[in-house]
Structure 1
Amino acid sequence: MQNITLTIARQTYLSAFANRATLIFTLLLGFALCLATYVGWQNFRTQNQQRVHYKKVVRAQWLAKPDKHPHRMAHYGYLAFREKHELSFFDFGIESFAGVSIFLEAHKQNTVNFSEAGFSNGMLRFGEISVAMVLQLLVPLLIVFLGYSSISAERESGTLKIILCQKVNWRKLLWGKSIGIISVCLSIFIPLILLTILLWASLSDWQVSVDSALRLIILILSYCVYFFIVTAVTVLVSAFQHSSKASLTILLACWILFIVIIPRITQSIGAKVYPSPSKIEFADAVAHDIHKQGDSHDPNDKHYASIKDSLLHAYHVDDVKKLPFNYGGYIMAEGEKITATIYNAHQHKLNETFAKQNRITALAGLLDPFLSLKQISMALTASDFETFIDFQRQAEDYRYQLAQQMNKLQIDKISNVTPGEHDKPLSISKSNWAQQPDFNYMFSTVGDVITREALALISLIMWLSCTLLLLQYAPRWIKTI
């Protein structure tokens, strides 16, 4: 029985390459994958080298600053860069549209800037060619082209009855055709996998981490499952249809529905059901709440005036200049704590809105394996929206720590007595700047990624299980004539 299935698979594989049109299509697809791999590799090298270079420049400039007042250094700020994950050359995700750096300064939360899209021409709106894009969109078309007539053509030519009379049952026929078609896809995919592993290792400076290796393994398995699902569905549609024309029409309609229509609809529904504020509205809401709380730069502000009175009472002095620490630094630290708390509350609320929008897309993945694979692929290559949000979160934590570090230096090392007109301005040694560590973005672990994308993984497993069951039990409903 197994030999019959493998014989059908071998014949399907050989007949696919015997067809000149199939051979040309396969070669073009292979060329597209090679081009996408080169573009992704070159894109990673160029952009990551730039980010690493300017990251070092920023650090060197920070350490080279002369003796200054720490509050001036807090406003001088720091430029934080988001480095690319070594697997991001495989799937660009939202990389080109998400900013790569953010300016961090005291009392103010800036947005992430310098996205690739901001410096590109209008061609970017047509999309970028990436390995993931070719595999997700074009490989299914190849499978449809190979399999739409795999069984319906046998029925049209009258050979189906002959095949089924030669110790071949429907189950063996379906499995044989499916294995043969997916073998054609794997003949393209396996060399690509080897090339991906080679490039991934080179981009990691040949220091491969366990986390990245697990990401790559899960990524490869996810694409294999996706190809099998598409192959099984294609063969089953061909088996149930009486003509190849009808089979091709249905499969192309499915391709358009699952890859073009459903993703757009789910995005629109998410934005409609859970609307998010504009950038200006968000900034106004934050500013409004901060204004209600008080202004640390206003000596007559009620909130900070009460803090002043309590300090004077606690230390039994009648003037802030007599306090054993720098009063201005203390007030700046309190103001930073309040503004950061307000901003983080608004940002958390905004992120929850985005999470609800994305949850609709994740739920739609139960009906569309393409959406599930896309979510998994972007998450594993660290080019998804969650990675971008995580960068914002880590950068804000660093900004707050930097501001409070400068405030602490002011509290501990700056005198309360204002220097005279001809006196040297208050400052501290430049050696203090080295106490502030450099910003290094830390990617989520593969365990966190799997937990976050559990629904998408369950969706792919569910689709795989359904197609396996259909290949096993669908023959009882298929008509030979």
Structure 2
Amino acid sequence: MRFRIVSIIALQLWRSSLKNKAVLALTVIIGGMLLFAAFTGWQHYRYQHNMRLQYQQQVREQWLNSPDKHPHRMAHYGYLVFRPKHSLSFFDFGIESFTGVSIFLEAHRQNTVNFSEAGFSTGMLRFGEISVAMILQLLVPLLLFFLGFSSISAERENSTLKVLLCQGVSWQELIAGKTLGITGVALVLYLPVILVTVLCWLLLSRFQVSAGDSVRLLLLIFAYFAYFIICALIAVLVSALSKTSKGALTTLIGIWLLFMIVLPRGTQVLGAQQYPTPSKAAFQAAVEKDLRREGDSHNPDDPHYKAIKDSLLRAYNVDSVHKLPFNYGGFIMAEGERISAEIYARHQQELVRTYEQQNSFGRYAAFINPYLAIKHFSMALTGTDFAAYMDFQQQAEKFRYQLAQRMNRLQMEYISNQPPGPHDKPHSISHAHWAELQDFRYVPLQGKQVYRHERLSIAALVCWLLLPIAALFIITKKFRAL
């Protein structure tokens, strides 16, 4: 393959495409949409980030300023934590609008993430939000298909294809040149997007970027570039296989509808049918059933906890829990918290496993649909995917458990076993102890964890990039000029 011939063909197609008023108009429209999406994404990130930071600070101040009280009351007073946004989330909103932003943490209960934007929006949100990623994933491929549907079929219809082939241009050089020319038109849109994305990312990060986030951004840029090459190559190959431009355009529109609408929705429905998930009420009922089987820590006559009391009395050789060297109520609450947390974690793992099985349909479907591959990989790199959401839930649950057990230990150490008299004040400890609980700090998934979760998406993108190139040298042997 001669690079000079390829570059001449690519340059000729690039120039002729940009001279086309329809192509130029579409390019300007999509470019304007990209700028609008970048600006609104930047504004949305700033608003959400500042709001969550403000409320998290208020929650911390209220916790520290709480008066002297019983530790168990503080455990039920609870703590509200907010999920911070990743600095690249302005680029791809992912599933953030549907997953909620905060969790109320309290003793004995594991609450869900609440206050999602979808809960406060109309049903129009289900059709998606205008983000940079959405436009690059859906509209730019449509532009590439529009550019490529007549790239070779028109040459065949105008009888210039035979002339090119007779002059020594090979099929591989012709297809490679057309693909690069179409990709070059996409770069007219994509290069400004890269610059705007990097600038917004630096501003939102306040120029304090980590090596891991830098690698994420680079991978995001190269992944979308590979996606455009795949779409351009598909368009050129369909044009080469079609006898007429009309037939090529019809085929490419069908491929776009299949890739962008039918397969994504179909895999979701199929996954939900094969692996149904319980309703929220059914999930909570199953947890409560297991909790009742283990016993009630608030019931002094419960057989399980009565056995614990009897063993403690024998171990310390006393005849009453009031004579134990620690607060018996705090010990029982700690044991009950441990049991309830283990039960909830087991049910939660089963639920997450079901969701992962549902999502696996879409991940394997990425090998027949490049849109699903870039969609999943893009969400993972911007921290807006299901794995990042579940990681936040797990870290919040770990913090909740530490909070509850910390309050239980304070009760065991500082609260007397003797009940207060009728004229005594209720048992309490100094509010200075509240500061011993560190504020919640969410640590995002690291690069290796992200790549491990998205190994199928990465493999699918690589396959989609290699298979059409392999087809370039295999299928073209059967191509005909007529």
TM-score bracket for this pair, using the shorter chain length: over 0.9
**8 Å contact kept, 2:96–2:384:** yes
Note the 1:184-333 alignment, pairs <5 A. Answer: 184-333=185-334
Q: Secondary structure of 1:79's match?
A: strand
Give the superposition deviation at 1:423.
1.3
Aligned partners of 1:226 and 1:460 also within 8 Å: yes
Cα distance in structure 2, aligned partners of 1:351 and 1:297: 30
Aligned partner of 2:463 in structure 1 is: 462
Q: Give how far 1:159 is off.
A: 1.2
Structure 2 counterparts to residues 20-419 of structure 1, below 5 A: 20-419=21-420
Unaligned stretches of 5+ residues in structure 1: none
Q: Is the contact made by 1:270 and 1:360 (CA closer than 8 Å) also made in structure 2?
A: yes
Task: Give the AA of the match of 1:472.
Answer: F
1:228-255 per-position Cα deviation (integer Å, ceiling 9, x unaligned)? 0111111011011110000001111001
Aligned to 1:430: 431
Cα distance in structure 1, aligned partners of 2:87 and 2:16: 39
Distance in 2, matches of 1:430 and 1:127, equals: 47
Offset at residue 169 of structure 1 (A): 1.8
Q: Which moved more, 1:93-102 or 1:120-129?
A: 120-129
- Deviation track 1:5-25 (CA, whole Å, cap 9, x = no partner) reads 111111000000111000000
Alpha-carbon separation, structure 2, partners of 1:114 and 1:134: 26
Deviations 1:234-283 (A, max 9, x none): 10110111100000011110011111101111111111111111100000
How much does 1:121 deviate? 2.9
Q: In structure 2, how many angstroms separate the alpha carbons of the residues matched to 1:115 and 1:12?
A: 46
How far off is 1:472 after superposition? 2.9
Instruction: Say whether the 8 Å CA contact 1:232–1:471 is kept in structure 2.
Output: no
CA displacement at 1:475 relative to structure 2: 2.1
- For residue 118 of structure 1, report the CA deviation from its aligned partner: 1.2
- The SS at the match of 2:236 is helix
SS of the equivalent of 2:104 reads strand
1:125 Cα deviation from its structure 2 partner: 2.8
| 1:165 to partner: Cα distance | 2.2
Which 10-residue stretch deviates more, 164-173 or 337-346?
A: 164-173
Check whether the contact 2:387–2:453 (CA below 8 A) recurs between aligned residues.
no
For residue 103 of structure 2, give the secondary structure of its aligned residue in structure 1. strand
Report the more deviating stretch, 168-177 or 15-24.
168-177
* Residue ranges of structure 2 left out of the alignment (5+ in a row): none
The alignment yields a C-alpha RMSD, in angstroms, of 0.9
> C-alpha distance in 1, partners of 2:206/2:72?
40
CA distance in 2, matches of 1:477, 1:229: 21
Letter of the 1:363 partner, please give it: Y
Contact 1:86-1:203 at 8 Å conserved across structures = yes
TM-score by length of 2: 0.99
Q: Give the distance between the partners of 1:218 and 1:159, measured in 2 at CA.
A: 40
Contact between 1:258 and 1:370, CA under 8 Å: does it hold in 2? yes
The share of aligned pairs that are identical, in percent, is 54
User: Which stretch shows the higher mean deviation, 326-335 or 469-478?
Assistant: 469-478
Conservation of the 8 A alpha-carbon contact between 1:7 and 1:176? yes
CA-CA distance at 1:4 after TM superposition: 1.6
Measured in 2, the distance between the counterparts of 1:215 and 1:395 equals 24
What SS does structure 2 have at the residue aligned with 1:437?
coil
Deviation at 1:384, TM superposition (A): 0.5
Q: TM-score, normalised by structure 1?
A: 0.99
Structure 1 range deviating more: 249-258 or 166-175: 166-175
Residue correspondences, number: 481
- TM-superposition CA deviations, 1:90-112 (whole Å, max 9, x none): 00010100110000000111111
The superposition leaves residues 195-237 of structure 1 with CA deviations (integer Å, 9 ceiling, x where unpaired) of 1001001111110111111111111111111110111111011
SS of the residue 2:97 aligns to: coil
Q: 1:370, 1:127 → 2: CA distance?
A: 15
Q: Distance in 2 between matches of 1:420 and 1:393?
A: 42
3-state SS of paired residue (1:34) = helix
**Distance (whole Å) between structure 1 residues aligned to residue 30 and residue 458 of structure 2:** 27
Per-residue CA deviations over 1:126-151 (Å, capped at 9, x if unaligned) read 32100010000000000011010001
Counterpart residue identity of residue 466, structure 2: S
Amino acid at match of 1:95: E
AA at the equivalent of 2:205: S
Matches of 1:365 and 1:192, distance apart in 2: 25
Q: Report the Cα distance in structure 2 between the residues aligned to 1:23 and 1:140, rounded to whole angstroms.
A: 16
